[in-house]
Amino acid sequence: MNQSLTTQNPLELSRNANDIKGLDNLRRAAQSGDSNALDEAAKQFEAIFVQMMLKSMRKAQDVMADKDSPFNSEQVKFYRDMHDTQIASDLASNGSIGLAEIIVQQLGNTDNGYMPAGALRNDGNLSSINRNTISSTQNAQNAVLGEPSPKTFQSFKTAAFEDAQSFIEQLYPAAQHAAEQLGIDPKALLAQAAIETGWGKHMIHNTSGQNSHNLFGIKADRRWQGDRAMVDTIEFEQGVAATKKAPFRMYESFGESLQDYVKFVQQNSRYQEAVKQTQSPQDYFTELQKAGYATDPNYADKVISVFEGEQFKRYSAEQTSTSGAAGNIK
């Protein structure tokens, strides 16, 4: 008989991997409230952890082992695993890793700043952490968008025009006035509005049915003092489309929306290069996209495609025809 075993107390015997009676002694000690039981149980847990690491390493070794070797037989593996189990127990009892000590401090009644056992037995205080995270996120958002206002409405998108032709006809006079201030072709402004709203088929309305009249997808940042419409929008992140909620400006009329757009690009320093290129719609929208007006990587090309499309050609032809007919009236 190993003389060293005779000097071990009943709880220390539980560290011997194959001593079933020692484990039973550990269970009895824990039930009786023995303070040393926690120390031994923690060491048992650390031993299991070390044993799992040794087992993973053995598996990696077995893959490359010579299957014909006598040292790779099932019998050798059996005794090897028993040996690893005992090594793991010895390492844990010596405090080689330190995991057992942390477990005792965390589960025991200590004042070392470790999370108490009560927290581990519920949600680990995760609900409080989540609340703090949500609060921090909300504060950061408010810093950019401004404090939530009673004038912020949950909204949806619906049609405000019958078709593209009615969209152009109704908006052209107001667009012409705004375009003169910006020095650009009014059809270019309407082409951009067509892209932003799908020819007016996807205009933002609040739940009361009020039209936001927002033709250019301008968001309501902290500088905006008017009403806001909270709605889903598509943003491109590294070329990938994603749906997000964002507040958008609400106007009393389409004319107000067009005027605010002109003010928005003229007074924003990031769009100054675009404002210099208004004589060329292609250059203007290219610079506008570069400055970050839209996250769609094909934004400028889409606007120009509409600007040069059949809808505006047909409208220009009709206007020319009407003007010619009016000129023939004596």
Catalytic residue IDs:
235, 260
Which residues are bridge partners to 237 per DSSP?
240
- Spatial CA neighbour of 168 closest among 195, 199, 197: 199
For 52, the enclosing helix (H) or strand (E) is helix 36-64
Which residue from 278, 282, 283 is spatially nearest to 182, judged by alpha carbons?
278
**String of DSSP letters for 247-285:** EEE--SSHHHHHHHHHHHHHH-GGGHHHHTTTTSHHHHH
Dihedral of the alpha carbons of 67, 69, 74, 80, in degrees to the nearest 10: -120
Asked if residues 246 and 205 have their Cβ atoms less than 8 Å apart, the reply is no
The contacts of residue 37 (CB under 8 Å, 6+ apart) are 11, 26, 29, 30
Cα distance between residue 272 and residue 253, in whole Å: 26
What does the chain come to in residues? Answer: 330
